[in-house]
Structure 1
Amino acid sequence: MTTARQTWAVTRYEFRMQIRKRSLWITTAVLAVVLTLTQGDRGPRHLPLGTPPREVMAGWALLMSILLPIGFGMVLADRLTRDRRLGLASLLESLPTGRGALVAGKYLGGLASTAVPAALVLLTAAAAETAHRHDPALFAWAAVAFALITLPGLAFVTAFALVCPLLTTAPLFRVLFVGYWFWGNMLNPDLFPSLTGTLLTPLGDYPATWLMGERALYAGADGWLEFLRPQPGGATTVLASPCSSCSASRPSRWPRRYCAAETCPPDLLKDTSHGHPDHRAAPHVRQGHRPRRTRPRRPGRHVRPARHQRRR
């Protein structure tokens, strides 16, 4: 099995596991409703009827990028730490699968599972705006806004939520992540040193500024770290998307002991029979099988002799 097929197998398994979580859908629905009801008079819902569709959907994408990534980070925070806590690393290390394929599959599967609810939220907003403005082009601009504003931020949040809990704990990461999100994305850079409005901001204010035709939040604003805030434009929009998505650690550099899954992806078990005497998968790598834990023998404990060996 090639590396691409192995990566695809892990990605598909990870996506199917994450997309079935109720917490993912409940968190997305609650945050989307809260943002829609509390957006204020300057929100995209109150734009005039003659507003171009690119500005309308850019406003919706930027609005949802304020809080939705926080919920996605909370859901993905215990993904790798849970594998380490269950002690399943040895199970996956016995498979003939490279470390890069395992980690890349986990990352891509987590990214796809968070991108689906975010895309559905934007499509729902586009449907509501189409019923109000009677402009079918809103769906096309919803896809453009998702690709330029939402997706790079999700790529950063996914990597950030998978790596950082390995250095701390999942509950501590959730608390620190909320503080980082407001400090690095929505804090006024004139008041305190912050990454707000820079090219490294995963909020997507530079692409939103290019689509809306006016400054969104603090993109290019004056303040601390002003050299990271160039004037918004087409070139900075192209530069901001990869910068925000690649500012997290590379997934392929994660330690191998953190690359276990809850159970083995079925597609990775097809090549495990090579070299085994009975040409079947070894018992410790069969699908859904977990290694049996043995109780360690106490020091100084001797084996009881057989009955015919005992002295009478």
Structure 2
Amino acid sequence: MTTVLNRPVPVVGDRGWWAKTAGAARYEYLMQVRRPAVWLVVVGLIALRSSAPWPPELGSVTVHSTLVAEWAMNFTMLCPIGVGAVLADRARREACLGLCDLLGSTPAGIGPRWWGKAIGATAATITPVALCWAALLAYLAAQHGASVLPVGIEVFAAVILPGLIFISACSLTIPFLIGAPLYRLGLVGYWFWGNMVGPRYGIPTPAGTPFEAIGEYPVGAWFHGHMFDAADRGVHADTANATVSIAFLLISALVVLVVTHLVLNRRSQS
């Protein structure tokens, strides 16, 4: 008994920044991944789009890189909308529940709580996408051989993940300004206008440029998939503009998260 009473108790406030962030991320992940809406919305949109894969001749494609890349484009057509929609109310949840003062009194601090939320909630919301992608790869591997699997991992990292990270960052930050309902409406409009309404419609749009979020440039440059809106612009993707496309999404995500962190920190000090 004496040994137990004399055992030093770790003080939460003495933990390092990374440890606090990891703890917050674990909490946010478990909270988000247990929400039924995360699974219903994200998996539902993937199933809706995959029920009639495009292009129609996808089933006859035999080149593994092209086959997997075309499936990735089917995933990215709708599932980022679902990811953004279910994340939109996550960042403001404490304010809606009146927990801001309580959480502000904890030793974790604004920074670890914010970055833990960004990492954990984003990872949890992407989890259904990753599991659906793993199930698809298993199905394709059964049909075309195990060599599909490493290609599938590369395609997920280069085509699907950057756009999801970008949308997740926007969905955690922009609702602070305009609220979740209006953001969800704007997200749907942005996704179709900025990624699927090409220049052939005569509307100014980033679709078909390296600044779109649907992953068309990595698909064309590295995996020999079809480029639709970029082809309308007369662009043939190469490593340079595919890298620019991914870098733009990841840097933009980092910038909006950093700016929001600075704003929250300043607000907590005022």
Structure-2-length-normalised TM-score:
0.85
Offset of residue 214 of structure 1 = 4.6
Offset of residue 200 of structure 1 = 1.8
Q: Does 1:34 align with 2:48?
A: yes
Equivalent position amino acid for 2:49 in 1 = L
Q: Is the 8 A contact 2:220 2:236 kept in 1?
A: no
Q: Is the 8 A contact 1:210 1:233 kept in 2?
A: yes
* C-alpha RMSD over aligned residues: 2.2
Deviation readout 1:123-162 (Å, 9 max, x if unpaired):
11111112222x1011111111110011101111111111
Distance 1:41 1:79 in 2: 35
* Aligned twin of 2:20: 6
Distance 2:54 2:246 in 1: 27
Distance 1:128 1:137 in 2: 12
Any residues of structure 2 matched to 1:73-152 within 5 Å, and which? Answer: 73-133=84-144, 135-152=145-162
Q: Which consecutive residues of structure 1, in runs of 5 or more, have no partner in the other structure?
A: 224-229, 261-312
* Aligned twin of 1:200: 211
2:249 alignment partner, one of 244, 248, 251: 244
Distance 1:220 1:11 in 2: 41
Q: Is the 8 A contact 2:162 2:249 kept in 1?
A: yes
CA pair 193-90 structure 1, distance change in 2 beyond 3 A: same
Deviation readout 1:197-251 (Å, 9 max, x if unpaired):
222211111111123325422236429xxxxxx6411122222112122224432
Any residues of structure 2 matched to 1:166-245 within 5 Å, and which? Answer: 166-190=176-200, 191-219=202-230, 221-222=232-233, 231-245=236-250
Report how many aligned residue pairs link the two structures: 250
Worse overlay, 199-208 or 237-246: 237-246
1:156 alignment partner, one of 145, 162, 166: 166
1:59 alignment partner, one of 59, 63, 70: 70
* Aligned twin of 1:47: 60
Offset of residue 84 of structure 1 = 1.3
Helix, strand or coil at the partner of 1:39: coil
CA pair 214-65 structure 1, distance change in 2 beyond 3 A: closer
Structure-1-length-normalised TM-score:
0.74
Distance 1:147 1:102 in 2: 26
Any residues of structure 2 matched to 1:292-307 within 5 Å, and which? Answer: none
Equivalent position amino acid for 2:264 in 1 = R
Equivalent position amino acid for 2:174 in 1 = C
Worse overlay, 72-81 or 212-221: 212-221
Helix, strand or coil at the partner of 1:162: helix
CA pair 43-27 structure 1, distance change in 2 beyond 3 A: farther
Distance 1:196 1:138 in 2: 29
Offset of residue 27 of structure 1 = 1.5
Deviation readout 1:45-94 (Å, 9 max, x if unpaired):
x133xx22111111111110010010111101111222212221111211
Higher helix share goes to which structure?
2
Helix, strand or coil at the partner of 2:214: coil
Q: Is the 8 A contact 2:173 2:256 kept in 1?
A: no
